[in-house]
Structure 1
Amino acid sequence: MLIRLLGPVELERADQTSAVRPPQAALALAALAWEVGRVVPVETLLTRIWGERIPSGARNTLYTIITHLRHDVLGDDGDVLRKLGGYLLDVDESAVDLSRFRRLTGRAAAVPDPRELLDEALALWRGDPLTGLPGEWAERARRRLREERKEIVLRWARSVTVADPGAAVAALSPLAEEHPLDELVAVALIEALHASGRTAEALTCFAGVRHTLAEELGVEPGTALRRVHRMLLRNGEVAEAERPVPAQLPVQLGCFVGRRAELEELAAAGAVCVISGPPGVGKSSLALRWAHLHRDRFPGGQLYAGLGALDSAGARTVLPRFLGALGVPESQVPSGVEAQTGLYRSLVSDRRVLVMLDDVRGADQVAPLLATAPGSLTVITSRSELPSLSVTVGASLLHLDVLSREDARDLLAARVGPARLAAESEAANLIIDRCGRLPLALAIVAARMVRRSDLPLAEIAADLEGAETDLEPFADTDPAIDLRAVFARSYRDLDEEAARLFRHLGAQAGPHFSLSAAASLAALPVERTRKLVDHLDRANLVDLSTHGRLRLHDLLGAYAAEQARAADGRTVRRSATRRLLDHYLQSACAASAVCYPHREHVTPDPPVPGVAVERFAGRAEALRWYAAESVALPAVVSEAAEAGLDRHAWQLAWGFGEFMQRRGHWEEILRVEAVVLGAAERLGDRVAQAGSHSRLARAHAGLGHDQEAVGDFDQAIELHRDLGEPVLEAHLHLGLTVPVSRVRPGEELGHALRALELFEAGGDTIGTARALNNAGWWRAQLGAYDQALTDCSHAQRILADLGYAQGEGHAWDSIAYVLDAMGDHPRAVAGYERAAELFQECDDLRPAGQTLVRLGETHMAAGDTAAALDAWKRAVECYDAVGDTAAEAVRARCAALGRP
């Protein structure tokens, strides 16, 4: 585990990085990690999180934050220990990037060649330290860390200026922009520019710094700056010799849009930069755009070669062309590649040239063609990442993804005119979505839009949606702009095992896959699958950017599915689907056992051979898996039903059911259960039917569809009654009490007491306690507070003894409600705080939010507005975490008090 402060506050585990949320938790973790291994006093923590104006209730909130850090953030990798007067982050110092950074820079100061240690230290930085964290302490810490980084960048740049001045320039240029009045930074940049052969730029840099010093401070440059200026004037700039200056760049696109960050990254690249990305993403367009914008940087000329149609020995074809462009007569070109390479390198060693190598298939194609002299740049575009060039020549690696929605819209507007897009904005959005924001797909459709200016965009969008295949609208007789042909070039380079996995991934539903899911599809060991996935990732046919999960672009997925239908028989595809469904089902049951141990469990059939099942080290890990996979559940359940695996369909819905309900994914549950109910009816499985009606009822209740909820509860109760399942029927009576209060008021207590009777008959102690608490709640609604308090308190003791945190949280919430109604506000506050703590411990954030809303109301009734606002803000955080729109109403309450 690595706690990252040098950028956004994040946790890194096994190459998977997750943000620490909410901001208060990130501040608390940063404040503790800043002094890892030392006790941080409570008052210091409070000041670092809230500043000088600490709100009332902050200590209770701090306790909640610490609990969140222990259980949900650190998990088994560390702890926050309560010590006398404060808290201590109990992890090794090496688990904090800031501590690593300071240790590495300290060691670097004691060695003759510090470059490797400083490289490792600076690689720990991921952006502005403590990115986005509010408050005075965070800002002070940021300022201090920026200064520390500036000093280390300077040390690093001085250590590499002789060996690699281009790298020093790339590191110092943004530093000089950030610190325009720092003369030491300016001196280092000017020296690096001069060492790179860019003396004219160095002189311009000096003039700019001199002007800034005069304008801002009214002073002349200091001794060091004057010294380096005299050195520049003595040496002067060596003029280019009278020799041919090649200008081979192809014409750039006239409607290039966006890519500002990528253009800036190219500008900061070293001697070699590799632009990689999936087919059709616009790698060549980006490279050409940058090259044309910066031609003046390369007075020695610009060389260009397209290598896509050449084999691995492509340099044999390109070198003679390059030598001719550099002024070597054909008769004087050596015959062997080695001799040609030597002559080429000699010719470009003393001139600043730009070399663009387009559509490179492998690193061996380009090794003889690289121009790495100071001031020169080789830009390579490739469908593969070519990581070996990063190792051998220090190449910068720039990965290109699809366009942002805004840039995709700008691209269409540049081709067809903004007025036409604005007139049919919704249709334009549909076209952008159908193209998956892939530049080549957008350009193909835009060309059609230009040719058929008489067609409404809505008709073009409808044609895209109604196409016989997903790739049909992007077909063309010219293979350069036919999407299948473009994809095929990458696909043909795969070995058979990687190609087979690619086909399996495209043939399955779901937005992304875990490594274990991919292994199940391929019926391969996880480690072997990992190597194949890395191969597909390097070929940019899958994307591994989402926390170690792999996904395919929609159009690449469509291509993979076409290849699967063409290459794999129906039996092969059905077997892969069965393995994937077994993976999801077995993993969901394992996650449910970890997260919800008190829940009734189902026993699925054993998985077929070749299935990899997720194993979870703890609750936090299982919840992360649920969160990632639940987005695919509707598609996965539909796939199970379509494959005739109805038992998988209803058991999958059960496996995810508790998680989906606690997160309030009501619409998704309705979509899933519409499929599951049909599957259960086909099976004639009345238990499965009852379970589906139960989940439908709870989803309808969550959405406020009370009539539908009561109807589904009634059907589920009837089914369980016929089956002689008193405990399952009892659960339904408990769930029915809330919606029935709005449809058939007066029946609530009766259902709670019936649930109590059934739980007792079935010997379910937890259920009995929950029903007792439910009955107490409804007695409180009738004003029977003494009996209500007795029932709820009895339930709380039972649930605490059993260790059932969620149920105990509801009991404390009920107790606090009754105490508040009886006028005992202090005890009510304590009860609500305990309820919220228990809910947050078990990741049940929606009821935590509801409890905190009631806590705020209790504070308001007692006249403590500040405490009420604090409770409501915590409620908003809980609602936001699960995407509950109830957050808006609570925000409105805060705003009404003048504290949004």
Structure 2
Amino acid sequence: MNDDTPEPRQVRSTIGGDVGGTAIQAGAVGRDVNVTNVLQGDHRPLQVERPPHDFVNRHDQLEWIRSTLSSDSSPRVVLCEGPRGIGKTTFIRKIAEIHQDYFSGGQLGFEYRRGLYEDPDTAITGFLRALGMEEKAIPSSPAERAKEYRSLTRRRPCLLVVVEGAWEPAQVRALVPEGNGSLVLVDGDVPDLDELLGDPRGAHPRSLVPLDAEHARALLESRADRSLESEDPEAIERLLEVCAGLPLAIALVGGRLFRMGPGSAAALAEDMKRAPSAPDSAEELRRSLGVIFETSYRALSPEAAAVYRTLGDWPGPHLDRALMPLLGDEGRWKEILAANLVEMDTHTLRFRHELIRGHARDRAEEDGAGPRRARLTAMLDAYLVRLGFAELAARGERLRTLDLGSILTGAEDPFDGDTGSAKAWLLRERPTLLSVVLGSAEQGLHVHAHRFAELAPALYLDHRFVHDWATTAVVGADSARMVGDTAAEARLLSLGSRPLTDLGRHAEAGARLDRAAELVEGMDDLMLRASVWEFRGRYLAETDPEAAIAAYDRCIEANRASDLPGSERGEALGLLFRGQAGVRAGRAEEAITDIESALARFEALSESDGRMSARGRVWLGEAHAAAGRHREAITALNLAIEGLGAGDQHYYRAEAYVLLADLYEEIGAPGEARARLVEAERLYRGLESPRAVSVAERIARSGPPSG
């Protein structure tokens, strides 16, 4: 049984963020198809966060940006330069906010992270989803995805693309849209990005300078939450000198003044006497920030400081707020928040800046390796429980090599079994899922690494984050091998074959499936054996259908030998996929028998699977067509279209319409063929599928409609 297929009771959804999705209602042939996109209501993503309420200054730079915006101009790239902590991210967010109406194409954002998100294809794939392309419509190869990004953005003028964390020019170039009036804002603090200035399109540098005294003081008062008129003027002047106009530094100093209360400026200035006066070099700026970080840290209570250090060891970019009580009581968190070291939204807590995270991680070394490992393990254990409940709610009962029941025993389900809220959490936690796998493996916590990797596909099976999936599967399988968990290794090797294939790493996928097949050969776990052989069959289906049939034979055999729940459905899937391979292998009659047998088994399941039954009827139509049985093929495809429409599986529905058109052309009914192509083209276009173009061209070649 393959987990690429959701349980019958599940509803696929792409819950928001950078993903989105499309919901379509379609009537019978000849009737209107109402396509309604549910992403922001109109395919207009708004991914850039809002700036803080007390944004100050930058008037000249904002005015320059405004003057460059023109819906008739070619796409423009602006490199926002300046030292770390100067406020580039906030500046970019302000631009997005004040020009929201201009960016009618929407706002896209992506942050590169070394070791996590380094490939522009990761960004492009997410952008395609955000722009309304349905998951199944996204091309399988990175080159084709890049092509479709250019094509899709060419039809979408005035699009804002924000790129943060890039360190190579190619990471930016790949994300430049094609639509007129579009703008790319790059958070540039890496010298190598200067190469963008020499591009044919030519990036425009825009340097951010430190805040002047007036605006620096205004921001300091805002963060201190009071007037500073009663404070020692020399102390305030000293604090502003140390901050050097850097908004990050001012926010932290303002947080200290807020916590210390009125009359505290002199004492705080004394604490910061080690910082350079009016730093004017990059090294002095870094030293000033270091002094400010350290001063803020030393002012925390011992309990709050311990929480700060613990958060520094957490591998994810943010921490689920549900885990906060594990590290300290509410007062400790409020103390860190008041110091402006961290920020919090509805769901998560995170450091205000990566520079602060680095400081917290450095300070964590004070505790020694043993205590650090113990508290990290406790946090990962708690996160594993939360992930386990999310995976169970999202995927239902399925094949697992880990004992999920023992992990969840005695814990309260935070999702109350609700699939929607669990999937929303999984999507929100996407970067953390990748981070905990890599972080656990790096720390030698290999059991945690492979467990996280096995549960993570609860997200990836709905949203093809293939880079994330491939990375977690590869690292997880390696970790399972390190601890001698053969079953987990085989499971992750087979699961990882899907994203590796999607990324074009076919040889690697095949080698891992070979290894998985060797591992399960002597196992008593028949369901795992069946799953590995099913993955192997699907890997071989396109290139070697005869070998795929042999793999499905092994899958069906293992399912029939098992009496575990799910084996009946696993056998039905094996028969269905073997039938599909049979069509490709030229065994049409055998394929018809297999697919009809699979459909009968789906009908007999305690929980019917209308989605797979409808997809099976598409393949049954293909098999009948291959056998020359056009009437039976047309009947099967019409039934499939009806079933797929009820289940909102519109990509497969469009494919069925194309197959029907092929059949009608073969029997000499061009009018009927054209009508089906029109329906297919409208569905594909609603899904932002690249196939819409080729179908439209085919319609044009068929001439005007008859009558």
The alignment's TM-score, normalised by the length of structure 2, stands at 0.57
2:607 is matched with: 803
Matches within 5 A, 1:32-71: 58=32
1:626-659 Cα offsets, whole Å, 9 max, x none, are 2222323343123323433322222221111353
1:672 and 2:475 matched: no
Q: Check 1:794–1:854 CA distance in 2 against 1; reply closer, same or farther (3 A cut).
A: same
Matched, 1:517 2:323: yes
Amino acid of the residue matched to residue 616 of structure 2? A
* Partner residue, 1:708: 508
> Which residue is equivalent to 2:674?
863
**Aligned-partner Cα distance in 1 for 2:542–2:353:** 46
Residues 405-804 of structure 1: pairs in structure 2 closer than 5 A? 447-448=281-282, 476=284, 482-520=288-326, 522=327, 524=328, 528-529=329-330, 532-533=332-333, 535-545=335-345, 548-566=348-366, 568-601=367-400, 602-603=402-403, 614-763=414-563, 764-785=567-588, 787-800=590-603, 801-803=605-607
Q: Given that residues 494 and 536 in structure 2 are in contact (C-alpha distance below 8 angstroms), is that contact kept between their aligned partners in structure 1? A: no
Q: CA deviation at 1:782?
A: 4.2
CA contact (8 A) 1:772 1:791 kept: yes
CA drift at 1:537:
3.9
Indicate conservation of the 8 Å contact 1:849/1:875, yes or no.
yes
Q: Do the aligned partners of 1:487 and 1:559 also contact (CA within 8 Å) in 2? A: yes
Task: For 1:677 and 1:668, locate their aligned partners in 2 and report how far apart those are by CA, in whole Å.
Answer: 14
Aligned partner letter, 2:387: A
2:684 — aligned with what?
Answer: 872
Whether contact under 8 Å (1:796, 1:811) holds in the other structure is yes
Alpha-carbon spacing, 1:835–1:734, altered in 2? closer, same or farther (3 Å): farther
Evaluate the alpha carbon distance shift between residue 366 and residue 874 of structure 1 in structure 2; reply closer, same or farther with a 3 A threshold. same
Contact 1:812–1:835 (CA under 8 A) maintained in structure 2: no
- What CA distance in whole angstroms lies between the structure 2 residues aligned with 1:517 and 1:497? 17
8 A Cα contact 2:315 2:435, kept in partner: yes
- 8 Å CA contact retained: 2:394, 2:458: no
Structure 1: how far apart are the matches of 2:655 and 2:585?
22
CA contact (8 A) 2:466 2:500 kept: yes
Distance 2:340 2:661 in 1: 56
Instruction: State the shift of 1:854 in Å.
Output: 4.8
Give matches, 1:278-317, under 5 Å: 316-317=230-231
Q: How far has the Cα of 1:611 moved from its partner?
A: 9.0
SS across alignment from 1:543: strand
1:513–1:550 CA contact under 8 A, matched in 2:
yes
Q: Answer yes or no: is the 8 Å Cα contact 1:808–1:838 preserved in 2.
A: no
- Structure with greater proportional helix content: 1
Work out the CA distance in 2 between the residues paired with 1:673 and 1:721. Answer: 21
Partners of 2:348 and 2:223 in 1: how far apart? 33
Q: Is 1:814–2:619 an aligned residue pair?
A: yes
Secondary structure in 2 aligned to 1:723?
coil
Alignment partners' CA distance in 2, 1:784 and 1:565:
65
Larger RCO, structure (CA 8 Å, separation 6 or more)? 2
Whose Rg is larger? 1
Measure how far apart 1:697 and its partner are: 2.5
The answer on whether the counterparts of 1:630 and 1:660 sit within 8 Å (CA) in structure 2 is: no
Structure 2: unaligned runs, 5 residues or longer:
1-14, 45-85, 99-188, 190-206, 237-252, 269-274, 666-672, 701-707
User: Alignment partner of 2:319: what SS?
Assistant: coil
Q: CA deviation at 1:515?
A: 1.0
Query: Aligned pair 1:831/2:640, yes or no?
Result: yes
TM-aligned CA deviation for residue 570 of structure 1: 2.8
Q: 1:813 to 1:263 in 2, by over 3 A?
A: closer
Q: Which amino acid aligns with 2:674?
A: G
* Distance apart, 1:728 and its partner CA: 1.7
Give the C-alpha shift of residue 587 in structure 1: 2.3
- Using a 3 Å threshold, how does the CA distance of structure 1 residues 813 and 359 change in structure 2: closer, same or farther? same
Counterpart CA distance in 1 for 2:643 and 2:223 is: 68
- 2:682 aligned counterpart, secondary structure: helix
Tell me by how many angstroms 1:506 deviates. 1.3
- Asked whether the equivalents of residues 689 and 716 of structure 1 are also in contact (C-alpha less than 8 Å), the reply is yes
- Distance change >3 Å, CA 687–CA 607, structure 1 → 2: closer
Given that 1:583 and 1:612 are in contact with CA atoms closer than 8 Å, whether structure 2 keeps it comes out as: no
The Cα offsets for residues 656-692 of structure 1, whole Å up to 9 and x where unpaired, read as 1353244333333332233333322232222122123
Q: Secondary structure at the match of 1:791?
A: helix
Question: Could you tell me how far apart the structure 2 residues matched to 1:577 and 1:622 are?
Answer: 24
Equivalent position SS for 1:511: coil
What is the CA-CA distance between 1:608 and the residue it aligns to? 12
Q: Tell me, what secondary structure is at the counterpart of 2:496?
A: helix
Q: Is the 8 A contact 1:640 1:649 kept in 2?
A: yes
Secondary structure, in 3 states, of the residue corresponding to 2:398?
coil
Tell me if the contact between 2:637 and 2:656 (Cα under 8 Å) persists in the aligned partners.
Answer: no
Shift of 1:512: 1.6
Distance 2:403 2:350 in 1: 29
Any residues of structure 2 matched to 1:878-889 within 5 Å, and which?
A: 887=689, 889=690
What is the alpha-carbon root mean square deviation over aligned residues? 5.1
Which residue in 1 is equivalent to 2:703?
Answer: none
Q: Secondary structure at the match of 1:758?
A: helix
CA spacing shift, 1:557–1:775, aligned 2, 3 Å = same
Query: What does the per-residue CA deviation read over 1:742-788, in whole Å, with 9 as the maximum and x for residues that have no partner?
Result: 55452222222232222111131111111121222223334554553
**Partner letter of residue 828 of structure 1?**
L
Name 1:437's counterpart in structure 2. Answer: none
Secondary structure, counterpart of 2:537 in structure 1? helix
Deviations 1:405-424 (A, max 9, x none): xxxxxxxxxxxxxxxxxxxx
Q: Distance in 1 between matches of 2:556 and 2:235?
A: 88
Unaligned runs of 5+ in 1: 1-16, 29-41, 47-53, 74-129, 135-254, 267-280, 292-302, 323-357, 369-382, 384-439, 449-474, 841-847, 877-886
CA contact 1:594–1:622 (8 Å) conserved in 2: yes
How far residue 825 of structure 1 moved from its aligned partner, in angstroms, is 3.8
Deviation at 1:509, TM superposition (A): 1.0
Closer, same or farther in 2 for the Cα pair 1:610/1:890, shift >3 Å?
Answer: same
Give the match's secondary structure for 2:674. Answer: coil
Give the TM-score, by structure 1 length.
Answer: 0.46
C-alpha contact (below 8 Å) 1:579/1:607 kept by paired residues: no
Q: C-alpha separation between the residues in 1 aligned to 2:359 and 2:370?
A: 20
- Post-superposition shift, 1:625? 1.9
Report the secondary structure of 1:598's partner residue: coil
Equivalent residues in 2 for 1:221-260, closer than 5 Å: 259=91
- Identity of aligned pairs, percent? 19
